[in-house]
Amino acid sequence: MNDVPPSSAETRAIEPEHGEHGSPVVRAFFFVAGTVAFTLGIAGVLLPLLPATPLFILAAACFARAYRPFHEWMLGHRWLGPMLKEWYKHGSLPYRTKVVAIVTMLVSFGLSILLVVTQPWLQALLAMTALALAVWLYRIPSRDGPTAPP
């Protein structure tokens, strides 16, 4: 594949200043957490109810403290890398990523409310949760969309 890791100078410029944790127990914890987050992120690509983008960001952060080669692989990945670099450099997400995440999440919640859940109180709870998540995602800055700063 074309997943070339970034150079070490580029990596230093876009990642948190901390490295792998000194304790093997803490590194093991971060590794397991990163693996779970990465696996759920992959599932989130296939299942719109799971938010893949935040899970991949969490996985990258865990791998930065647990096992640097996985972290660097994620940064160099042709699909994950640009999103992660944008998050590290600017604390923002690409506008297209936000829109796709919001639309798929709202469709998934909407289908659940209409087709699966029958209790009105639970439908209302799901609708409020979907709305809150959509607002939260929309408020994450984007440098390349209509709400991008000048």
Token pair listed for 4: 């070339």
Domain that holds residue 123: 92-150
- Residues 83, 13 share a domain: yes
CA distance 147 to 150: 9
pLDDT at position 1, please? 45
CA distance 40 to 42: 5
How many folded domains does the chain comprise? 2
Q: Which of 91, 115, 139 is the last residue of a domain?
A: 91
pLDDT at position 147, please? 56
pLDDT at position 121, please? 95
Q: Are 109 and 49 in contact (CB under 8 A)?
A: yes
**CA 105, 107, 109 angle in degrees (round to 5)?**
65
Cβ-count burial of 80 within 10 angstroms (0-12 exposed, 13-18 middle, 19+ buried)?
A: buried
- Residues 20, 80 share a domain: yes
- Residues 76, 104 share a domain: no
Q: Which of 47, 64, 91 is the last residue of a domain?
A: 91
CB atoms within 10 A of CB 60: 28
Q: Which of 91, 106, 122 is the last residue of a domain?
A: 91
What pTM does this model have? 0.66
CA distance 28 to 90: 29
One pLDDT digit (tens) per residue for the chain, 150 residues:
445 455 444 444 444 456 666 778 889 999 999 999 999 989 888 876 677 888 899 999 999 989 889 999 999 999 898 888 888 888 888 888 888 888 888 888 898 899 988 999 999 999 998 899 889 888 888 888 775 555
Specify the residue for token string 């960001």. Answer: 57
- Residues 83, 102 share a domain: no
- Residues 66, 21 share a domain: yes
